[in-house]
Structure 1
């Protein structure tokens, strides 16, 4: 029998694909995208948003600081939903099957305050977690040790009873250092297999059928 008391999902690239480079390759071309990303640290800009700075103000201020890239940088805000898509439907299926089994399911994600509110309006499953730990509200981002400690203190569960899936090795390493059980997410099937191996879902429950999960 598993000793896992809660399963924790990252969101970006676990439940929703987050590939800004792919969006820019499609809209302005790969060569120009590479030039822009070499000139402007857009991921550092996004970290500021994820740390709690205002979504619009932060991105627009960055855009104004780089007039040669102003329109393109503003796309990060104005076309944000096109950066955060598509949904990884099999992962959503796993979230729902865990909750149907009575397993508490949490989110731990680097996400801005306003951008998470925006995403929640488009992706209703983001309201289905038992607890949501959003970095923008917490004022700290993964992989800082503090964010994992804050989760432990809030949920009251021992680190070894938490199973955490994230696509970034640095985030996984930091969680494991706190004593969490971890899974490096490289696709939903591997995550499904891990949940079955832990005894949290049956093989049938972990198998995704799109028609069954349509909502």
Structure 2
């Protein structure tokens, strides 16, 4: 079935999200490994993505691990340095689809506070036809409920939704719902999918 809407994840699809890279730079690899071994920072971030206050969550975690207090607070205080740079080819694909009047949605695990930081830095975040942000919905991928929420809101049959995400568990959950889904491993592969689906020409997807 030809897709009636294309759905983008954001982290590692449109914006690189590599917190370890930031901490490697500021702490060194050995210290970063020690920090991430002792403190589950990604689980902390999941709490934010479910709707918890960004600063309060990070700072509370920092107080739980006083030896790492300053480093953990960087997750909040330096967040834009963790979420960078944009993936330019993916942004071009988003915009090319919009030029062709293909509805384009975002489905992303993102906090309210973090999205408020990201949107001024990355104007394309305001260019989606619909945005499904986990913190606003109160549920994160790959929970089936978030996919059901998308279906109910947009009114498009699952088989007519084409979704890309960089995490295999999120893709598997979408496929279980009947969505067409592509595991994002780089913009070239995603571009080829859009060409194969007849949504863009090869030139438009370049």
TM-score grouping bracket, smaller chain normalisation: over 0.9
Cα offset, 1:7, TM superposition: 0.1
Task: Please name the residue that 1:192 is paired with.
Answer: 191
Task: Please name the residue that 1:212 is paired with.
Answer: none
Cα offset, 1:114, TM superposition: 1.1
1:88 is aligned to 2:113:
no
Cα offset, 1:30, TM superposition: 0.6
Give, in whole Å, the separation in 2 of the partners of 1:151 and 1:76.
29
Deviation beyond 6 Å, 4+ runs, structure 1: none
Task: Please name the residue that 1:113 is paired with.
Answer: 112
Task: Please name the residue that 1:11 is paired with.
Answer: 10
Task: Please name the residue that 2:65 is paired with.
Answer: 66
1:48 is aligned to 2:56:
no
Cα offset, 1:184, TM superposition: 0.3
2:105 is paired with a residue of what secondary structure?
strand
Task: Please name the residue that 2:97 is paired with.
Answer: 98
Matches within 5 A, 1:172-191: 172-191=171-190
Cα offset, 1:117, TM superposition: 1.1
Task: Please name the residue that 1:210 is paired with.
Answer: none
Task: Please name the residue that 2:159 is paired with.
Answer: 160
RMSD over aligned CA atoms reads 0.5
Normalized against structure 1, the TM-score is what?
Answer: 0.95
1:72-112 per-residue CA deviation (whole Å, 9 max, x = no partner) reads 00000111001000100000000000000000000000000
- Unaligned stretches of 5+ residues in structure 2: none
Task: Please name the residue that 2:34 is paired with.
Answer: 35
Cα offset, 1:24, TM superposition: 0.4
Give, in whole Å, the separation in 1 of the partners of 2:119 and 2:152.
25
Give, in whole Å, the separation in 2 of the partners of 1:13 and 1:91.
10
